[in-house]
C-alpha cells in the first residue's frame, strides 16, 4: 500500500505557522476570553500543548485536558498507521465492532463529544487566571 508523502507535506505546511509561533512564544490568547471574559472549551489548549511538547511541566496550568487528548489521538494514529503499513485494517476487531455499533446509534457520539467539550470547559474555567493573556 502506497500512502504517499503529499498528505504529510500538506499537514507540515499547515502546521508550520503554529509551530513557529509556539517556539517563538507568540501564541495569541483566546478571542472569546478577551471579548467576553469567559473561557471557551479549548482555552489554553494550544499553549498547554506547546508546553507539553517542550517538556515543560507547567502545561497543567493551562488546559491539560486537550494536551492529553491530543497525545492520546497521536498514539491512536500511530498505532493505526503501523497497522495500515503492515497491510492490516486501520481498526482492529474490537474497534470495528464498536464503530459499527455507533453507526446505528448516534447518542454515543453525541454523549462523548458533549463530555469532551464539558471537560475542556471545566478545565478552562478552573485555570482561567493562568490562561488569561496579560493585558487582557
The pLDDT tens digits for 7-18 are 666 667 777 776
Q: Which alpha helices (H) appear in the chain, and where do they start and end?
A: 6-23, 31-36, 45-53, 64-85, 93-104, 107-126, 128-131
Task: Spell out the domain ranges in the chain.
Answer: 6-131
Task: Please write the tens of the pLDDT for every residue from 45-102.
Answer: 878 888 888 888 888 888 888 888 888 888 888 887 887 788 776 666 666 666 666 5
Mean pLDDT is lowest, of 95-99, 104-108, 116-120, for 95-99
User: CA-based Rg of the chain, rounded to a whole angstrom?
Assistant: 18
Report the C-alpha gap between 132 and 44 in whole angstroms.
Answer: 8
Q: pTM surpassing 0.95?
A: no
Amino acid at each position: 500500500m502506497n500512502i504517499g508523502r503529499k498528505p504529510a507535506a500538506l499537514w507540515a505546511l499547515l502546521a508550520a505557522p503554529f509551530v513557529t509561533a509556539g517556539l517563538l512564544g507568540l501564541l495569541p490568547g483566546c478571542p472569546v476570553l478577551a471579548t467576553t471574559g469567559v473561557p471557551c472549551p479549548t482555552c489554553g489548549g494550544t499553549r498547554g500543548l506547546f508546553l507539553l511538547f517542550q517538556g515543560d511541566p507547567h502545561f497543567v496550568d493551562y488546559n491539560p485536558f486537550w494536551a492529553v487528548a491530543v497525545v492520546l489521538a497521536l498514539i491512536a494514529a500511530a498505532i493505526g498507521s503501523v497497522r495500515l503499513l503492515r497491510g492490516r485494517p486501520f481498526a482492529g476487531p474490537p474497534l470495528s465492532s464498536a464503530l459499527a455499533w455507533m453507526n446505528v446509534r448516534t447518542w454515543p457520539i453525541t454523549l462523548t463529544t458533549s463530555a469532551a467539550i464539558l471537560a475542556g470547559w471545566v478545565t478552562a474555567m478552573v485555570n482561567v487566571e493562568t490562561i488569561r493573556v496579560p493585558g487582557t
